[in-house]
A and B are shown apart, each in its own frame.
Chain A
Amino acid sequence: MKKLVLVGLGACLVGMLLCMPTAVAAEKKGEPIKIGAIFSVTGPASFLGAPEEKTAKMLVEKLNKEGGLLGRPVELIIKDSAGSPEKAVSFAKQLIEEEKVLAIIGPSTSGETMQIKNLCEENKMILVSCAAAEVIVNPVAKYVFKTPQKDSQAVTWIFNTMKEKGISKVAMLSSNDGFGSAGKKQVEGMAAAAGIEILCNEVYDKQATDLTDILTKVKGTAGVQAVINWSIVPAQSIVAKNMKQLGLNIPLFQSHGFGNPKYAAAAGEAAEGTLFPAGRLLVVDELADSNPQKKVLAAYKKDYEALYKEDVSTFGGHGYDAVLIVTEAIKKANSTDRDKVRDAIENLKGLVGTAGVFNMTPQDHTGLALDAFEMMTVKGGKITLYKK
C-alpha cells in the first residue's frame, strides 16, 4: 500500500516537473514587467491589506487585458505579511534579490513600511507605500513614496473641526503599532499650536478587545470634551461601543484609519456621530459632477463592488493609487529602467487618484494637499460628509 502511494506521489512529481518548464517558458516569452506588492492581507491589519490586494489584482488584470504596459504584460507578485514587520522585511528582501522586481507597492501598515524604508533606499528599490504615517516621507528618502494623505493633514482637519465646535481639552487614545504611535506624536506635537490640551494620553494593545478600563480613566478625568482615537485596528469600533456603554457621551474623533465602512458597521449604532477625516471615495455619491475626482472614484467604486461584492474603502483606494502611480510613471518614462521610473514618479503632476490629486515634488513624496481630505461623520449607519 505504502509503495503504491509512493509510486503515485512520484508520478505526480514527474508530471509537475514536466509541466513546469513549459509554463516558465510561456511566461518568459512575453517578458512581463514585475511589480512586487507586500500587503497585510491577513492579520490585525487585514482591513487595510485585503482591499488593497483585491484592488491591485483587479487593476493589473484590467491593464493586462488592455494590452499591458509598453506592450508587455505586468506581473504582480503579492506577498501577505499578515501585518508583521519581520515578514515584511524578509518579503522585501525576496522581492529585491530573487524576484528583481521593478518596484514594490505596499506595505499596508506604517510599522512595516518604516522597517523596509532603509532597505529599499539602500537597494535603490522604488517603494510606493500604502501606509499613512508621515515619517515614511519625512525626511524624504529618494526611492520611497506613499499614497495616503499625511497624518499632519488629518490632525489639522480634526483640530479645525474641534475649534469650530469649541473643544479645547481632549483625551488621546492610540494603538501600540506604527500608525498609532506616529499619529500620537503628530497630535502631541501640533496640539499646543492649535490651542488644544491633551488631558489624558493612553496607548492600548493593537489586539485589544475591550477598552472600558481606559475609557473609565477618560471618564474620570475632569474637563475632557472629546476623545481622539488613532488606530487602524478593530479597536476603532470597540472604542465607539465602549464609550456608549460607559455613558461617555462626548464627541469621538477618529483618524483617517476609520475610512472603511466595515468599522462603522462593526460598531453599529455606537458609531453614530463619529467624526473623522477621510478621502472622498466614501462619499462619491455626494460629490458634485464638477469635482475632478468624481469620475475616477465612481469608476473604481463600480468596478470593485461589482467584482468583489463588498463596499470600497479608502484603503483599497491607497492600493489603487499606488498601482496608478507606478504604472503612470512607467508610461511617462517609457522605460523600465528603475531610476528613470523613479524620476518620472517624482515629476507626476495633476494625477487624479482616489485619495486626491497627486502633485509630486522632490521635497514632497506624497503630493497631496490639505484639500485631499474631507471631514466625515456617520449618520444612520452611513458615512457622509460632515456639515457644520
Chain B
Amino acid sequence: MGSGDLILQYLLSGITKGSIYAIVAIGFNLIFSATGVLNFAQGEFVMLGGMIAVTLSFYVPLPVAITGAVILVALIGCLLEVLFFRRLRRHSIMHMVIITIGLSIVIQEIALHLWDEKVRSLPYFTGKEISSVAVFGATISPQVLWVLGTVAVVFVLLHAFLRYSLQGRAMRACSSNPEAAMLSGINIANLRTLSFGLSAGIGALAGCVISPITMTQYEMGGPLAIKGFAAAILGGLGNPMGAVAGGLLVGVLEAFSVSKLPAAYNDVTAFAVLLLVLFVRPQGLFGSPTGDGVREF
C-alpha cells in the first residue's frame, strides 16, 4: 500500500468518525440556536433512536423501524421540553444545562432497565460486516456512505426548513431576538418545543445510521455528546455548517494523530487543536464574532 493510499485511508477513517460527530453536533446546534440551552442529553437521543429502531426491527421492515424510532424519539424530545424547560425559562442557562445532564443520566438508567446492558446493532443497510467499497485505492464500509449521505440530506433539509418555511423562519426570528419575535406574534414556547423535537428526531436518525458501525448500547450517549459538543464548539455554536465542518475536522484530526502518535493520544490531539482554535477564535471557526450573532443560524 503506497503512502498516498495510506493518507487517503486515514482521511476516510477520520471522515467515518467525523461524520458521526457532525450529526450529533447538528442536533446540539439546533437546540442551542432556538433556546440557548446546551443540551447534553443529545447523545441520549442518539442512543434511544438506535435502541428503539433495533427493537422495532424485529417486528417491521428496517425503513419502517427507523421511521418509527425517529418519530417516537422526536415526541420524547418535545415531551422533555414541555415537562422540564417550559416553566424554567426564567432560570439561568447554567440551570438548564445541569438539567440536561441530569436528564441524560435518567434516560440512560431508564434505557438500562427497559432494554439491558447488552450491545445491539441494526443490520448494515447495504452489504454486511465484511463488505467494503474501494475509493481510489483505499476502502471504506458502505455504511459510512450512508452516514455521510444522511448528514448531507439532514443538513440540506434543515437549511431549507429554516430559510424558506414559515415555521423555520419564525424559529430563526426567535433565536436572533426572542422579544421582538414574541411582539410580532410568534409563539416562542411552541417553537422551542419544536426545536427539541426536531433535534431529538435528528439525533435518533443519527443513532440508526451509525448503529451498524458503532453498535448501540445504553451508555453510548455520553462520549458521543462530548465529541459532538466539541465539534459544535469548533465549528462555531449555532452554525449548522460549522457543526458539519467541526465534526469532520475533529474526526480527521484524531485519525491523523494516530498515524504519527500512539493511538492513546488521539483525544489529546483533537482537544489540543480545539483549545488552540478557541484561543485564536473564541467564537469557533465559522461562528460570527459578535455575541448576538452566535445564536443566528
**Those of A202-236 within 8 Å (CB) of chain B:** 202-205, 207, 209-210, 212-214, 216-217, 219-220, 234
How many A-B contacts if CB must be within 8 Å?
113
B105 to chain A, nearest CB (A): 13
22 contacts between A and B (CB under 8 A): A42-B112, A42-B219, A203-B263, A204-B263, A205-B267, A209-B20, A209-B215, A210-B13, A212-B12, A213-B14, A213-B263, A216-B259, A220-B6, A220-B259, A234-B217, A241-B130, A244-B130, A245-B131, A245-B139, A245-B140, A246-B139, A268-B129
Question: How far is it, in angstroms, between the C-alpha of A204 and the C-alpha of B257 when the chains are bound?
Answer: 13
Q: Does B132 contact A (CB under 8 A)?
A: yes
B13, B16, B117, B139: the one contacting A43 at CB < 8 Å is B117
Does A216 lie within 8 Å of B132, measured CB to CB? no
Number of interface residues of B (CB under 8 A): 42
Apart from A210-B213, A266-B119, 14 more pairs, CB < 8 Å = A42-B112, A43-B117, A47-B119, A205-B267, A213-B13, A213-B17, A213-B258, A214-B258, A214-B263, A219-B1, A234-B119, A234-B217, A237-B119, A246-B9
Does A216 lie within 8 Å of B13, measured CB to CB? yes
Does A216 lie within 8 Å of B117, measured CB to CB? no
Does A42 lie within 8 Å of B117, measured CB to CB? yes
Residues of B within 8 A of A202 (CB): 258, 262-264
B38 to chain A, nearest CB (A): 22
Question: How far is it, in angstroms, between the C-alpha of A237 and the C-alpha of B263 when the chains are bound?
Answer: 18
A321 to chain B, nearest CB (A): 22
Q: Does B95 contact A (CB under 8 A)?
A: no
B110-121: contact bitstring with A at CB < 8 Å (1 yes, 0 no)?
Answer: 001000111101
Residues of B within 8 A of A44 (CB): 219
Does B117 lie within 8 Å of A50, measured CB to CB? yes
Residues of A within 8 A of B266 (CB): 213
Q: Which residues of A contact B (CB under 8 A)?
A: 41-44, 46-47, 50, 176, 202-205, 207, 209-210, 212-214, 216-217, 219-220, 234, 237-238, 240-241, 244-247, 262, 266-270
Residues of B within 8 A of A204 (CB): 263-264
**Those of B115-158 within 8 Å (CB) of chain A:** 116-119, 121, 128-132, 139-141
Residues of B within 8 A of A245 (CB): 129-132, 139-141
Q: Does B185 contact A (CB under 8 A)?
A: no
